[in-house]
């Protein structure tokens, strides 16, 4: 007795062919995502998922547009120009910033400044949305309570870090092995060597001067109205 007739063999063959195709589609990156030999890594200005006027009155539309289309675009362009000098450098920007010794010496300062500018603004613009006074809940809310006792204590510590950063820089909420921490950095430096950033505030004057002039404290207070806590919670979960 024949175990398999021709029809059964055809069905089994078709099934394996289908599974193979499915695994190929799932497992493969798009061809254009894979750098070919000699091609430098490059970055694009992230597209915002909100309009420039949607954070008003806390952050005005003109500030948002200039900040995104001029400042962030400039950091992105400068980063790409530096990377073009070293097409062999196929390391994601987060890893380079976490360990600058990986960066060739002739472009190290440029990458720290402009790669930092690219990364820092990408995070900043991604966590903005009017929150109508909502505060973090769930695992993030719990982690904030554990690290800082309460949301109000967290807000006070974050505000102090942002207000006391001398000159231009950033304040951050980062995830470390010991839990959440608040840090601040100068210029476009990142805290990637200390932990995973999930929230940051840009305290360069270009982030607030049109609306708040020299009143950084007012901008920081307004910033708490436009933190997208759902996004921050998502980044927190991803970091674990
Ligand atoms: Fe900025």
Residues of the chain with pLDDT under 70: 1-37
Give the Å distance between the CA of 180 and the centre of ligand 1.
Answer: 24
Give the Å distance between the CA of 100 and the centre of ligand 1.
Answer: 21
* Residue 12 confidence (pLDDT): 56
* Residue 40 confidence (pLDDT): 86
* Residue 34 confidence (pLDDT): 45
Give the Å distance between the CA of 168 and the centre of ligand 1.
Answer: 9
Give the Å distance between the CA of 59 and the centre of ligand 1.
Answer: 13
Domain ranges of the chain: 51-240
Give the Å distance between the CA of 187 and the centre of ligand 1.
Answer: 10
* Residue 175 confidence (pLDDT): 98
Query: Residue 192: which of 125, 126, 123 has the closest Cα?
Result: 123
Give the Å distance between the CA of 9 and the centre of ligand 1.
Answer: 63
Sequential DSSP letters for 9-43: HHHHHHHHHHHHHHHHHHHPPPGGGSPPTTPPP--
* CATH no., domain 51-240: 3.55.40.20
* Residue 221 confidence (pLDDT): 98
CA torsion 111→115→116→118, rounded to 10°? 160
Q: Give me 102's structure tokens.
A: 């990986």
* Residue 26 confidence (pLDDT): 46
* Residue 196 confidence (pLDDT): 98
* Residue 181 confidence (pLDDT): 98
Give the Å distance between the CA of 71 and the centre of ligand 1.
Answer: 6
Give the Å distance between the CA of 20 and the centre of ligand 1.
Answer: 47
* 177 phi and psi angles, rounded to 5 deg: -65, -20
Give the Å distance between the CA of 207 and the centre of ligand 1.
Answer: 5
Compute the distance between CA of residue 121 and CA of residue 201 in angstroms, rounded to an integer: 9
Map 166-217 to HEC letters: CCCEEEEEEEECCEEEEEEEECCCCCCCCCEEEEEEECCHHHCHHHHCCCHH
CB 233 within 8 A of CB 139: yes
Give the Å distance between the CA of 29 and the centre of ligand 1.
Answer: 32
Give the Å distance between the CA of 119 and the centre of ligand 1.
Answer: 11
Q: Give me 67's structure tokens.
A: 């900040």
> Angle CA(135)–CA(138)–CA(139) in degrees, nearest 5?
115
Give the Å distance between the CA of 151 and the centre of ligand 1.
Answer: 26
């Amino acid at each position: 007795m024949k175990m398999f007739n021709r029809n059964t063999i055809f069905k089994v063959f078709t099934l394996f062919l289908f599974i193979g195709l499915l695994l190929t589609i799932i497992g493969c990156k798009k061809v254009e995502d894979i750098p070919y030999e000699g091609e430098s890594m490059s970055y694009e200005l992230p597209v915002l998922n909100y309009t420039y006027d949607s954070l008003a009155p806390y952050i005005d539309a003109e500030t948002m547009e200039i900040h995104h289309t001029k400042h962030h675009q400039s950091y992105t362009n400068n980063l790409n120009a530096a990377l073009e000098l070293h097409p062999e450098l196929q390391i994601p920007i987060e890893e380079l910033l976490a360990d600058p010794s990986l960066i060739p010496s002739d472009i190290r300062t440029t990458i720290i400044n402009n790669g930092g500018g690219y990364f820092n603004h990408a995070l900043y613009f991604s966590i903005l949305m009017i929150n109508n006074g909502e505060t973090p809940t769930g695992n993030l809310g719990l982690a904030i309570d554990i690290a800082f006792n309460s949301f109000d204590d967290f807000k006070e510590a974050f505000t102090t870090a942002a207000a006391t950063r001398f000159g231009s820089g950033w304040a951050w909420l980062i995830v470390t092995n010991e839990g959440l921490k608040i840090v601040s950095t100068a210029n476009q430096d990142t805290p990637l060597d200390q932990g995973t950033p999930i929230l940051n505030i840009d305290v360069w004057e270009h982030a607030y001067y049109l609306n708040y002039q020299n009143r950084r404290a007012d901008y920081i207070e307004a910033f708490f109205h436009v933190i997208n806590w759902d996004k921050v919670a998502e980044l927190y979960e991803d970091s674990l």
